Amino acid sequence: MRTVRFLTIFAVALLLGCENEKPAAPTAPPVQLQTGRFALQKMLVPARGWAPDAQPVWLQSVYIAQDGNGHDGKYSLWRAAFASPSRQKTVIFIWSGTDHSDMPRGVNHLREEFFNPANRSEQPFDLNFIKIDSEDALETAQKHGGKDLLVKKPNQPVIYLLDYDSRIPQLRWHVIYNDNPAGAPLTVLIDASSGLFIHKE
């Protein structure tokens, strides 16, 4: 009788234990932070699928507070405009390593816009010109006022813009000490081909 009672209690406990063991909820993959050149290279193949002569016009990081502050030259979201002179069109491609944005992970793009090849302020550049990545640009910018600023404001975001000045010509990293270029206390321009300091604003 005692044995039967023990087996009954054991069976009930086993059933209760099984009921409590719910399947674990799927965990979201970790946020992927990458440098600007990495993101641009990921966008290049889909851009060339859109237009074989597609070249980047500019690249910029997108600040998402919960994903980092850019102090390592990396972000979870990068946007780049690619232009096709033959089609006279431009498209913004987005590389995302996060689930917080409206865009899913990977590379996506927005709708086509008109591109004027005669507009010298928006000329495409060859990806091979980029010898200095965003993390390297940050290292140089830190030596030109950035380090002192982050000592005073350690939570200050740092964002990045890569563009091409066709008049010089010069490919430039803008290391911007703010979450928005407007009103930034410091912006340092670095030559993206040589790594040399250009000037600060």
| pLDDT confidence of residue 101 | 61
Q: Is 130 helix (H, G, I), strand (E, B) or coil?
A: coil
- The set of long-range contacts for 47-52, using a CB threshold of 8 Å and a minimum separation of 24, is 47/82, 47/91, 47/93, 47/109, 50/82, 50/84, 50/91, 50/109, 51/82, 51/84, 51/86, 51/87, 51/89
Integer Cα distance of 180 and 152 in angstroms:
18
Residues 21-34 pLDDT 10s: 555 556 778 999 99
| pLDDT confidence of residue 103 | 74
Q: What is the DSSP letter of 67?
A: G
The better pLDDT of the pair 12, 194 is held by 194
Quote the percentage of the chain above a pLDDT of 90: 74
pLDDT score of 1 more than 50: no
pLDDT score of 17 more than 80: no
Average pLDDT of every residue of the chain: 87
Integer Cα distance of 70 and 76 in angstroms:
9
C-beta separation of 64 from 78 below 8 A? no
- Mean pLDDT check: name the lowest of 4-8, 74-78, 177-181, 189-193: 4-8
| pLDDT confidence of residue 10 | 34
| pLDDT confidence of residue 26 | 64
Residues 91-143 pLDDT 10s: 999 999 998 767 789 999 999 999 998 888 889 999 999 999 999 999 999 99
pTM of the model: 0.85
Residues 33-66 pLDDT 10s: 999 999 999 999 999 999 999 999 999 999 998 8
